[in-house]
């Protein structure tokens, strides 16, 4: 197992046999408006990715559906050949339509094609971690994941994927996946205001499985609350710093992948997430979330 020391807040976590910084980067915001097409400022997008690596971040979250394929190609252009410590986590299970929608695409043929496109666009021979993304924009939806997850487990046995994860799933679907093949992470929507996965996070922590919240800052609708602003003001910090620091303190298996298209915001977030929240802060923030 590789060892990695980091000055980033939160230290490190190990996904299977891959050590990553708990403070990571979510690359979705790098594509064009609506996560479609190229970014308006291509050099700016490449600079954000290089900044992530310069800061010591070793976990980048992406998906072939971003752009589609645009974000992965940006990652390759900015960072290939990759530092040995960098691990890229991708996801499959949704396509894109002409309107910018995210229709599900989980049949075996689509999943095989997505894995092969991710390999090609990222310039890799093996993908470090692939999440099967289920549900829809409203969140997880009940139903069996056996067929698509077995397809991914088959691609893992073929040597195309190191580790598997699941995304936008219910606790039942997590258990169903684990009965098929080991998983190293669950990526679901979660933040200070949206805490439906509290029990799941604790259960995964006991099993040594990472929980990776998407929309840690509220996604397309930024987090806002009096409690958040009050705690931020007490620390002379931003609400964003408080929201990230709260996640790092919430549980050791939480990995951060805040998104940004700005190198300055990335630096600000990497510093801000290190804020130390007191018991009083946590109690006040807890009321906001429940
Ligand atoms: N599995 C899934 O279904 C799924 C779904 C959604 C997202 N994801 C993943 O999760 C990652 C995180 O989610 P997200 O990017 O959608 O949402 P997010 O991290 O909650 O929020 C990103 C938004 O916050 C803004 N922001 C970030 N830092 C800021 C700062 N310091 N000051 C002001 N604004 C700031 C960004 O704007 P600027 O660009 O201006 O900084 C952006 O609009 C994504 O990048 C993606 O990798 C996964």
- Calculate ∠ Cα 161-163-166, nearest 5°: 110
Break the chain down into helix, strand, coil percent, rounded to 5: 40, 20, 40
Would the CB of 59 count as within 6 Å of ligand 1?
no
Would the CB of 91 count as within 6 Å of ligand 1?
yes
- How many angstroms is it from 145 CA to the middle of ligand 1? 27
Give pLDDT < 70 ranges for the chain.
1-4, 290
Residue 82 is a catalytic residue: no
- How many angstroms is it from 109 CA to the middle of ligand 1? 30
Tokens representing residue 176 in the block: 């169903």
- How many angstroms is it from 13 CA to the middle of ligand 1? 21
**Residues with Cβ < 8 Å from 251, sequence gap 6 or more?**
201, 202, 205, 211
In the 8-state DSSP scheme, what is residue 93? S
Q: Which of 25, 66, 82, 211 is catalytic?
A: 66
Q: Which of 63, 219, 270 to mutate to test the pocket of ligand 1 (most atoms within 8 A of CB)?
A: 219
What integer pLDDT is reported at residue 1 of this predicted model?
43
What integer pLDDT is reported at residue 3 of this predicted model?
56
């Amino acid at each position: 197992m590789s060892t990695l020391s980091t000055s980033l807040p939160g230290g490190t976590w190990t996904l299977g046999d891959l050590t990553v910084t708990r403070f990571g980067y979510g690359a979705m915001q790098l594509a064009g408006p609506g996560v479609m097409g190229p970014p308006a400022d291509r050099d700016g997008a490449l600079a954000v990715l290089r900044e992530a690596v310069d800061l010591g971040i070793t976990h980048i979250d992406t998906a072939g559906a971003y752009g589609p394929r645009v974000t992965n190609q940006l990652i390759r252009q900015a960072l290939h050949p990759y530092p040995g410590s960098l691990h890229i986590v991708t996801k499959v299970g949704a396509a894109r339509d002409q309107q910018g929608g995210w229709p599900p695409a989980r049949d075996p043929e689509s999943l095989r094609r997505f894995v092969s496109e991710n390999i090609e666009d990222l310039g890799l021979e093996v993908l470090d971690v692939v999440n099967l993304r289920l549900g829809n924009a409203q969140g997880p939806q009940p139903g069996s994941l056996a067929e698509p997850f077995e397809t991914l487990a088959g691609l893992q046995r073929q040597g195309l994927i190191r580790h598997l994860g699941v995304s936008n799933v219910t606790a039942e679907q997590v258990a169903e996946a684990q009965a098929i093949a080991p998983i190293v992470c669950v990526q679901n929507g979660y933040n200070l205001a949206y805490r439906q996965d509290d029990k799941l996070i604790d259960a995964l922590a006991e099993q040594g499985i990472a929980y990776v919240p998407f929309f840690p800052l509220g996604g397309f609708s930024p987090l806002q609350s009096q409690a958040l602003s009050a705690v931020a003001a007490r620390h002379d910090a931003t609400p964003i710093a408080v929201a990230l620091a709260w996640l790092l303190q919430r549980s050791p298996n939480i990995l951060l992948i805040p998104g940004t298209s700005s190198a300055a915001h990335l630096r600000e977030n990497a510093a801000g997430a290190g804020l130390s929240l007191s018991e009083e802060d946590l109690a006040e923030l807890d009321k906001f979330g429940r």
